[in-house]
């Protein structure tokens, strides 16, 4: 086992430590070497790191990249343990829903100085919004938009009943529970981490509790954090869906709210997206439910931002990126939720 | 002392934007530097508006509490135990406008801005208590339409509060959509 050069309070991962761990979990890759470990930009729920590696395969030096997901040094900022998204990847890998191959989940702090963490293969491509929004790429955007709608249909028709997901995901027993089960989780998380009294959030949660959609077309796997920036595309094709930490079982319309919140209608007009989606999976689009879940998603994001704020305030992190998120996310989302509800 | 803090902030932000950020090639440090530049812009706005916004907000909250108290003590809402209980709470404004409630042994505020922030926070807590009291009172169907009127009044205030907050926080916003002048891309 390689010596750990950073302690748990630092944010850097040592290439030597990562190399030793990858060789441990991938013994079939001969003479594995890690040349670079670097942190992905953006993201709030967890840190994402990339490790550039090479190894011998049938006498040929082969290169590849692995992704490491780990909670922030100050702890998780979402009410979902890291293993949750790993188990979702395990359930989905090999299905019609494209995800990166999960490699290993690790609880041992001594490997890289941080734990728990998990490793997955990095799917070649980019999630970069600016690649999509570059001038002259209208055809790419339309094509990616159509693919996105069909893949969301695949997520929502995924047979979760026989996938192992019900071992850890609560199953709603009614249409109303599709919203309220998740709402309770996020409201409790919000209350546990709120750093100051926020009447805007009190009023928003009050509304959400009193107005859950009374009907759902079916209970589906809900991706949770959907949209531009959370799928990887390569050479004009979407090759992987990412960011499964907010996944759960519930109303598929919640994903449309998240997707539109994250601007998928800048790829293709919403009406066209809905048409492609319904044609692919038969699930009708309920725009009233989407309106409700817009505000729900805003409340979810604000709830996620509070642990970010408290980690900044109590000194667990001094990173400027945390300070920016602590300001940018809650006020943007509160404003967006109020406008959505016509307040 | 010159330069004033707002003048210094303007200078720091200019230097970050024009000199430091363009020279950073590594993605994560560049992302951090852009966050710093956005926070400096936010601080400039705070230096300019925060004290006035807090004073406005405190005044509006005190007026809102008076309005709510009047509603909650008239029929039919006067019949609600939870609303009556809220009315019996001492509103932060009753201790003197701009003066924050302090716990035993808690240090006195060190500046006018700190005092305003504490006073504002105490009032926001009082409004949260009012909203929670309305949630409970609303379980009585006979009170629903009267509560709805109160909520509309509360939401109108919250809209104004958000407008003030958003003006200060806007530089820190991110967008996943096509580039627009008022929001920076989520990317570095």
Predicted pLDDT of residue B177:
63
Is there a single domain that holds both residue A104 and residue A168?
no
Q: How many CB atoms lie within 10 A of CB A52?
A: 17
Is there a single domain that holds both residue A149 and residue A70?
no
- Last residue of some domain: A121, A147, A181? A121
Task: List all residues 6 or more positions away from A145 whose beta carbon is below 8 Å from its beta carbon.
Answer: A264, A267, A268, A272, A273
Task: Answer whether B18's CB lies under 8 Å from B35's CB.
Answer: no
Residue B164, token pair as written in the block: 């003030």
ipTM of the complex: 0.86
- In 3D, which of B131, B128, B129, B137 has the Cα closest to residue B81? B137
Predicted pLDDT of residue B102:
55
Q: What range defines the domain where residue A73 resides? A: 15-121
Distance CA A282, CA B108 (A): 63
Helix (H) or strand (E) holding B123: helix B112-137
Identify any residues that bridge with A232 across adjacent strands, giving them in sequence order: A240
DSSP classification of residue B20: I
Predicted pLDDT of residue B176:
67
Is there a single domain that holds both residue A46 and residue A169?
no
Structurally, chain A folds into a number of domains equal to: 2
Predicted pLDDT of residue A3:
32
Q: Is A4 inside a domain boundary?
A: no
Predicted pLDDT of residue B106:
57
Is there a single domain that holds both residue A23 and residue A102?
yes
Q: Is A7 inside a domain boundary?
A: no
Q: What is the dihedral of CA A80, A82, A85, A91, to 10 degrees?
A: -120
Is there a single domain that holds both residue A245 and residue A211?
yes
Q: How many CB pairs under 8 A join A and B?
A: 123
Asked if the Cβ–Cβ distance from A206 to B135 is below 8 Å, we say yes
Please give the backbone phi and psi of residue A66, each rounded to the nearest 5 degrees, phi first. Answer: -120, 150
Q: How many CA atoms lie within 13 A of A115 on its CB side?
A: 13
Predicted pLDDT of residue B95:
54
Helix (H) or strand (E) holding A56: strand A47-57
Q: How many CB atoms lie within 10 A of CB A280?
A: 17
Q: How many CA atoms lie within 13 A of A10 on its CB side?
A: 9
Task: List all residues 6 or more positions away from A69 whose beta carbon is below 8 Å from its beta carbon.
Answer: A46, A47, A48, A49, A82, A85, A86, A117, A118, A120
Distance CA B137, CA B133 (A): 6
Please give the backbone phi and psi of residue A237, each rounded to the nearest 5 degrees, phi first. Answer: -125, 140
Is there a single domain that holds both residue A89 and residue A188?
no
- Last residue of some domain: A121, A137, A163? A121
CATH number for the domain spanning A292: value is 3.90.1200.10
Q: Is A2 inside a domain boundary?
A: no
pLDDT tens, residue order, chain A (343 aa): 333 333 333 468 999 999 999 999 999 999 999 999 998 886 678 899 999 999 998 889 999 999 999 998 877 778 889 999 999 999 999 999 999 999 999 999 999 999 999 999 999 999 988 889 989 999 999 999 999 999 999 999 999 999 999 999 999 999 999 999 999 999 999 998 888 999 999 999 999 999 999 999 999 999 999 989 999 999 999 999 999 999 999 999 999 999 999 999 999 999 999 999 999 999 999 999 999 999 999 999 999 888 878 877 887 778 888 888 888 889 999 999 999 999 9
- Last residue of some domain: A105, A121, A137? A121
For residue A257, is the peptide bond before it cis, meaning its omega torsion is within 30 degrees of 0? Answer: no
Q: How far is CA A119 from CA A33, A48, A50, A89, in A?
A: 16, 10, 9, 11
- Residues from chain B that touch A130, judged by Cβ atoms under 8 A, are 179, 185, 187
- In 3D, which of A114, A117, A112, A105 has the Cα closest to residue A17? A112
Task: Answer whether B70's CB lies under 8 Å from B140's CB.
Answer: no
Distance CA A5, CA A19 (A): 13
- Contacting A with CB below 8 Å, chain B residues are 26-28, 30-32, 35-36, 38-39, 42, 121, 124-125, 127-128, 131-132, 134-135, 138, 151, 154-155, 158-159, 161-162, 165-166, 168-170, 172-179, 185-188
Q: What is the pLDDT of residues A139-159, one digit of tens each?
A: 999 999 999 999 999 999 999
Task: Answer whether A273's CB lies under 8 Å from A147's CB.
Answer: no
Is there a single domain that holds both residue A163 and residue A253?
yes
Q: What is the pLDDT of residues A243-295, one digit of tens each?
A: 999 999 999 999 999 999 999 999 999 999 999 999 999 999 999 999 999 99
Distance CA A262, CA A298 (A): 11
Predicted pLDDT of residue B103:
58
Please give the backbone phi and psi of residue B89, each rounded to the nearest 5 degrees, phi first. Answer: -65, 145
Radius of gyration over every alpha carbon of chain A, rounded to an integer in angstroms: 20
CATH number for the domain spanning A52: value is 3.30.200.20
- Contacting B with CB below 8 Å, chain A residues are 38-42, 128-130, 133, 196-200, 202-203, 206, 209-210, 227-229, 262-263, 266, 319-321, 323-325, 327-328, 331-332, 334-335, 338, 343
Is there a single domain that holds both residue A267 and residue A305?
yes
Is there a single domain that holds both residue A150 and residue A109?
no
User: Please, where are the H alpha helices in A170-243?
Assistant: 175-193, 199-210
Helix (H) or strand (E) holding B114: helix B112-137
Predicted pLDDT of residue B107:
55
Asked if the Cβ–Cβ distance from A199 to B185 is below 8 Å, we say no
Task: List all residues 6 or more positions away from B162 whose beta carbon is below 8 Å from its beta carbon.
Answer: A200, A331, A334, A335, A338
Q: Is A271 inside a domain boundary?
A: yes
Predicted pLDDT of residue A314:
80
Q: How many CB atoms lie within 10 A of CB B79?
A: 12
Is there a single domain that holds both residue A137 and residue A101?
no
Q: Is A3 inside a domain boundary?
A: no
Residue A40, token pair as written in the block: 């992905």
Question: Considering only alpha carbons, which residue of chain A is nearest residue B125?
Answer: A197
Asked if the Cβ–Cβ distance from B176 to A263 is below 8 Å, we say yes
Is there a single domain that holds both residue A116 and residue A164?
no
Asked if the Cβ–Cβ distance from B131 to A335 is below 8 Å, we say no
Is there a single domain that holds both residue A317 and residue A179?
yes
- In 3D, which of A61, A2, A8, A70 has the Cα closest to residue A30? A61
Please give the backbone phi and psi of residue A216, each rounded to the nearest 5 degrees, phi first. Answer: -135, 150
Distance CA A67, CA A86 (A): 12
Residue A232, token pair as written in the block: 């990887």
- In 3D, which of A80, A28, A53, A64 has the Cα closest to residue A225? A80
Spans in chain B with pLDDT lower than 70? 95-111, 176-188
Q: Is A248 inside a domain boundary?
A: yes
Predicted pLDDT of residue B34:
94
């Amino acid at each position: 086992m390689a010596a750990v050069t950073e302690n748990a309070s630092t944010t850097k991962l040592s290439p030597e430590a990562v190399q030793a761990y990858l060789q441990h979990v991938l013994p079939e890759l001969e003479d594995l070497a890690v040349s670079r470990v670097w942190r992905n930009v953006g993201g709030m729920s967890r840190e994402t790191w990339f490790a550039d590696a090479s190894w011998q395969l049938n006498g040929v030096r082969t290169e590849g990249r692995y992704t490491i997901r780990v909670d922030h040094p100050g702890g998780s900022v979402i009410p979902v343990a890291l293993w949750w998204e790993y188990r979702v990847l395990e359930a989905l890998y090999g299905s019609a829903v494209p995800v990166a191959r999960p490699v290993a989940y690790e609880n041992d702090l001594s490997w890289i100085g941080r734990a728990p963490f998990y490793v997955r293969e990095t799917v070649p491509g980019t999630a970069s919004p600016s690649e999509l929004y570059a001038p002259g790429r209208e055809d790419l955007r339309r094509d990616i938009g159509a693919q996105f709608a069909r893949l969301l249909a695949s997520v929502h028709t995924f047979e979760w009943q026989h996938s192992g997901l019900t071992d850890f995901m609560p199953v709603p027993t009614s249409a109303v529970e599709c919203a309220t089960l998740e709402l309770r989780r996020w409201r409790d998380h919000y209350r546990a981490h709120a750093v100051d009294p926020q009447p805007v959030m009190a009023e928003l949660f009050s509304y959400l509790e009193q107005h859950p959609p009374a009907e759902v077309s079916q209970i589906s796997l809900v991706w949770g954090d959907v949209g531009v920036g959370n799928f990887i595309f390569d050479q004009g094709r979407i090759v992987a869906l990412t960011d499964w930490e907010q996944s759960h079982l519930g109303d598929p319309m919640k994903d449309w709210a998240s997707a539109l919140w994250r601007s998928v209608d800048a790829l293709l007009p919403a009406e066209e997206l809905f048409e492609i989606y319904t044609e692919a999976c038969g699930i009708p689009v309920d725009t009233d439910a989407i309106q409700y879940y817009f505000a729900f998603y805003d409340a979810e994001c604000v709830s996620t931002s509070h642990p970010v704020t408290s980690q900044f305030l109590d000194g667990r992190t001094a990173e400027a990126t945390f300070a920016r998120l602590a300001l940018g996310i809650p006020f943007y989302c509160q404003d967006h939720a109020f406008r959505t509800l016509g307040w | 002392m010159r330069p004033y803090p707002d003048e210094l902030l303007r200078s720091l932000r200019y230097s970050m934007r024009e000199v430091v950020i363009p020279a950073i090639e590594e993605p994560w440090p560049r992302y951090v530097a852009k966050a710093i530049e956005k926070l400096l812009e936010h601080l400039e706005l705070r230096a300019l508006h925060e004290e006035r916004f807090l004073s406005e907000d405190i005044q509006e909250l005190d007026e809102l509490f008076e309005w709510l108290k009047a509603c909650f003590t008239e029929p039919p809402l006067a019949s609600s135990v939870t609303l009556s209980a809220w009315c019996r709470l001492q509103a932060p404004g009753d201790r003197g406008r701009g003066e924050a409630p302090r716990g035993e042994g808690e240090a006195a505020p060190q500046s006018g801005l700190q005092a305003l922030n504490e006073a504002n926070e105490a009032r926001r807590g009082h409004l949260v208590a009012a909203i929670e009291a309305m949630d409970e009172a609303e379980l009585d169907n006979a009170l629903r339409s009267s509560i709805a009127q109160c909520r509309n009044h509360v939401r109108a205030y919250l809209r104004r509060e958000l407008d003030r907050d958003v003006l200060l926080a806007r530089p820190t916003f991110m967008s996943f959509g096509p580039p627009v002048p008022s929001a920076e891309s989520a990317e570095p």
